[in-house]
Every structure is written in structure tokens, then in C-alpha cells.
Amino acid sequence: MSTTDIATLRGVATDRQVEAAEQPAPPTPAEAPSWSNMRAPDARSQQSAAVSVTNGRRALKVFLSNPNALFGTGFLAFVILIALIAPVIYPGDPLSMVGRPFLWPGQNPAFPLGTDSLGRDVLAGIVHGARISLFVGLVATALSLTFGVVLGAVAGYFGGRIDDLLVRLIEIFQTPPSFVLLVVLVAIARPSATTVTLAIAIISWPTVARLTRAEFRAIREKDFVVAARSLGYGHRRIIFSEILPNALPPIIVTSSVMVATAILMESALSFMGLGDPNVVSWGSMIGTGRELVRTAWYLTALPGLAIVVTVLALNLIGDGLNDALNPRFSQEG
């Protein structure tokens, strides 16, 4: 190494600094075309993973090009619409007796889906049942998402003792069979739409919490989280605006399936007679029609069909979201 070597380099550096000092306005980037197409050698591999998770518009495109997902969304929209306009198309209590009992579907044009053993309109029951099923499904999922995401995020992000404590709490809820716990909870409280919803939320938040915790544990080690800390962001900002958006895809996918599960659980409770006795729900319709399944099978089959198709629609949406948001399954990845 010769002296001139360094001297030249330092000379160059000084000249350049003088230049920079002389013209405070940054020179227009003439170099733009020369480097904008250059990439670090590992750029490609690093990119593929990021692209598929991040690009919301692309995810939407994948979702909308999936016929199953579209069918699911369409049907769910239809059910929601029915639920919303139920009081308009069937004003009055769907539990009131309006006609002759045991009218089969199509027998009387006034009751297109027939009447049950007490002469109640089956179609009115199904339409009003959609309200309670969707209410329970959506509200229970929203509650357990809020609770599960917050607890899971805190546990996963902070780790250590807080994590231990929260994991134990989750395990307490996951140890008893969840449906048994649900029945116990509803039996203790007086069954009503609210208590059923709360009970379903209580048994389903641990799933969300575990999922969120796992995502947070993985993401908190990423460089951009360290970078966020180096920028002086507080814990709350890092959790909710830096990590959470990255952890969302699997949570969104799970939540669509959770709505379906909540609807099924509500139906199961109502079938067992643990639902709200004052409102009609698909499950309670099946429950009351159960004894007549040999003579009037349509009383169980029609509300059953409503449950099956709604849950199927939600599952299709879940699959579609999974394809769209999960990088491992996306084709363009």
C-alpha cells in the first residue's frame, strides 16, 4: 500500500465534499437509469415471499378470480340481505301460529316451505333464523378476534413471563372439550342471544390468541421490527401498526371459518334446547322438528340445508382468502 494510494482517495473525497458544499441543491439524479434496474443478488428470492403477502390489490384479484370464493361471497351476501329485510318480508313473530299444521312445502302457496307441527310458517322461521345465526356468528367472532388478537399479540411480542402467563391462561380454556365448556357456560347463565354469543366468544378466543402469538413471535424477530425500534417507536405502535398488518392474513382466513363454526355451535346449542327460547333459530327449528323426522322430514331438512349452505359459503370464502393471502399457496408466488 503506497502513500499516494490513500492520498489520492482522500483527495478525491475532499474534492467531492467541496463540490457538495458548493452546490447545496442535490444534483438531479442523472444516474437513475444506470442503477434503477440493478438489484442486489438476493433481491429476487427475498422479493417473492414479500410480494404475495403484501400486495392487497393482487390478493383481491386472486380472490375474485376464484369461482368458489365468488359463490361463497355471493351466497353470504344473499343471506345477509335476507336477514336484514326479514322484518319487512315477514313482519310479526315467526313463532306465532299462522296456518294449519303439517303443511308440506308447495301444498299451500301462502306457505311456500310449509308449516310445522304447531302451524308456524317454516320460511318465516328460516328467514328470521338467519338473523340470529348471523348475529351470533359475526358478533362472537368479532369478540373473540378482538380479545384473542390483543392477548396473542401481547404474549408473542413481549415473550418472557407475560407470555408464560398468557399461554397458561389459553391452556386452561383449551383443556376441557370446548363444546362441553360451551354447554356449561350457557347452562349457568340464562340462555339468550347475548349469553350464547358471549359463551361462544369465550371458547373460541384461545384459537385466535395462539395463532396471533405464533405470528408475532416469528415477526418480532424480523429486521424491520428492530428498525422500527431504532426509529423510537413505542411498543403499542410497533404491535399494532408494524407487526399486526403483517400477521393479519392467517387471522383473516381463520376468522371466516370461525364465523361458520360459531353458527354451527349456536345451532347445536339451540338443537339441544339451550338456545334463546324467545327467538327462532335454525338450530331450534331442527330441534323441534327432530321428533317428526320420519313423518315430516322437511322440518329438519330445510333449516339444516340453510345451515349447510351458509357454513359452506363461509368455508369457501375462507379457502379463497387463504389462496389469496397465503404466500405458500399462491400460484404467482
Partner 1 sequence: MAPLLQVENLTIRFPRAEPVRNLSFEAGEGETLAIVGESGSGKSLTALALMRLLPRGAQIASGRIAFDGRDLIKLDARGMRHLRGRDIGMIFQEPMNSLNPVMTIGRQIGEVLRVHERLTGRAARARAIELLELVRIPAAEKRVDDYPHQLSGGMRQRVMIAMAVACKPKLLIADEPTTALDVTIQAQVLDLLDTLRCELRMAVVLITHDLGVVAQWADKVVVMYAGRKVEEALPGDLFDNPLHPYTRGLLAASPRLKNDFHYRDGALSEIPGSIVSAGGETGCPFRPRCAEARASCGHHMPPLTVPAPERLVACPFTVPVEAMPHAAAFSL
Residue numbers at the binding site for partner 1 (CB under 8 A) = 1-7, 9-10, 12-13, 16-17, 20-21, 24, 26, 29, 31-32, 34-43, 46-47, 50-51, 53-55, 159, 222-224, 226-234, 237, 241-242, 245-246
Please, what is the minimum distance in Å from the beta carbon of residue 233 to partner 1? Answer: 6
Residue 172 or 218: which CB sits closer to partner 1? 218
Query: What span, in angstroms and rounded, lies between the C-alpha atoms of 52 and 54?
Result: 6
Closer to partner 1 by Cβ: residue 190 or 237 = 237
Cβ nearer to partner 1, comparing 10 with 290: 10
Residue 20 or 77: which CB sits closer to partner 1?
20
Q: Alpha carbon 24 to chain centroid distance?
A: 52
Task: Identify the burial level of 123 via C-beta atoms within 10 angstroms of its C-beta, where 0-12 means exposed, 13-18 middle and 19 or more buried.
Answer: middle
Which residues lie below 8 Å from residue 99, measured CB to CB, with a gap of 6+? 108, 110, 111, 115, 119, 121
Measured from the CB of residue 318, what is the shortest distance to partner 1 in angstroms? 21
- Give min distance, CB of 148 to partner 1, in A: 21
Helix intervals (H) in 23-121: 32-36, 43-54, 56-64, 67-89
Contact 204, 151 (CB under 8 A): no
Residue (57 or 168) nearer to partner 1, CB: 57
**93 burial via Cβ count (<10 Å: 0-12, 13-18, 19+):** middle
Q: How far is the CB of 22 from partner 1 (least distance, A)?
A: 11
Rounded distance between C-alpha atoms, residue 133 and residue 40, angstroms: 53
> What minimum distance in Å lies between the beta carbon of 150 and partner 1?
19
Give the shortest CB-46-to-partner 1 separation in angstroms: 4
Nearer to partner 1, 95 or 228 (CB): 228
Q: Which residues pair with 121 in a beta bridge?
A: 115
Q: Residue 55 or residue 108: which is nearer to partner 1 going by CB?
A: 55
Nearer to partner 1, 85 or 226 (CB): 226
Phi, psi values for residue 115, rounded to 5° = -130, 160
Shortest distance, position 40 Cβ to partner 1, whole Å: 3
Burial zone of 99 (CB within 10 Å; 0-12 exposed, 13-18 middle, 19+ buried): middle
Contacting residues for 87 by C-beta, under 8 A, at least 6 apart: none
Q: Which residues pair with 115 in a beta bridge?
A: 121
Phi, psi of 63 (to 5 degrees): -65, -45
